[in-house]
Structure 1
Amino acid sequence: MKLTFNKTEKLKSQKLIEKLFLEGKSVVSYPLRLVFIETTFDDNVKIKAGVSVSKRHFKNAVDRNRIKRLMREAYRLNKANYFNNITTQYALMILYIGKDGTEFDAVNEKMNQLFEKFLKETSTED
């Protein structure tokens, strides 16, 4: 798996996002929360992911966009380590549930913990 986050890997389907929040399971590594659901995609992609930051906690778009950039970068750098050996397809939404801003190192560390919990959760389902 390449260290990229292409358009094909981004979660954009409104129907799938709604289904994700209605039926999906979640794991938390504060200040990040990962909501996931097993699904199938037409294209040959294992994981489709999206990121979101609450407008309630971050009124300024500049702050929200910065945190989303940090989250996407942490996802891009870590996805190859965790999702290379995955066989089923998943839709993921990574939410920032904290109330204050953060630095990249903290987001990166929490993203690793989140992916560990996700793999543990999905391996127990099989």
Structure 2
Amino acid sequence: MYTFKKEERLCNKSLIEGLFHNGSSFLCYPYKISWMPADAAQQFPVQIVFAVGKKRYKHATDRNTVKRRMREAYRLNKQALLYNVLNDADRKLVLFISYIGKEIAPYDFFEKKMVKLLTQLAAEATK
């Protein structure tokens, strides 16, 4: 239930490219989300990529810290807030979440904003 497997990560370059050309996006500070419906062939309801800009965070350790906190907040909240809603609506998504915040906040902040983001995404994806 609280896992984040390799199959849930988006690695397909053509899907990522299609996501930027054809997908929808919105801002839920400190995250910017691009998403689009996916084909029914994928195993999990969502495939996802997390990104942190090198321009804002020069040190790889800072980028990795931010990505680690984003992944953990997603992992703990995805089932209740996103997967259950998408499974009920029989939808599948591909997601790209980018961190655009200016500072590395404590984990509590990341989790609170991720809950808000997943709730908003579930509402938009099931429209």
Q: TM-score, normalised by structure 2?
A: 0.91
Matching of residues 1-126 of structure 1 within 5 Å: 2-40=1-39, 42-82=41-81, 83-86=83-86, 87-124=90-127
Identity %: 36
Instruction: Deviation per CA, 1:8-50: give whole Å up to 9, x if none.
Output: 1101111101111111111221111221010115342211011
Q: C-alpha separation between the residues in 1 aligned to 2:19 and 2:95?
A: 8
Q: C-alpha separation between the residues in 1 aligned to 2:21 and 2:124?
A: 18
Structure 2 residue runs of 5 or longer lacking an equivalent are none
Q: C-alpha separation between the residues in 1 aligned to 2:27 and 2:115?
A: 12
Q: C-alpha separation between the residues in 1 aligned to 2:59 and 2:48?
A: 24
- Check the 8 A contact 1:52/1:94 in 2, yes or no: yes
Q: TM-score, normalised by structure 1?
A: 0.92
Q: C-alpha separation between the residues in 1 aligned to 2:91 and 2:97?
A: 19
- Structure 1 residue 123 displacement after superposition: 2.4
- Which residue identity is paired with 1:113? K
Q: Choose 64-73 or 26-35, whichever is displaced more.
A: 26-35
Structure 1 residues 32 and 39, CA, compared in 2 at 3 Å: closer, same or farther?
same
- Which residue identity is paired with 1:85? V
Aligned residues: 123
- Check the 8 A contact 2:53/2:99 in 1, yes or no: yes
Structure 1 residues 37 and 99, CA, compared in 2 at 3 Å: closer, same or farther?
same
Q: C-alpha separation between the residues in 1 aligned to 2:115 and 2:66?
A: 16
- Check the 8 A contact 2:85/2:122 in 1, yes or no: no
Once superposed, what is the RMSD of the aligned Cα atoms?
1.2
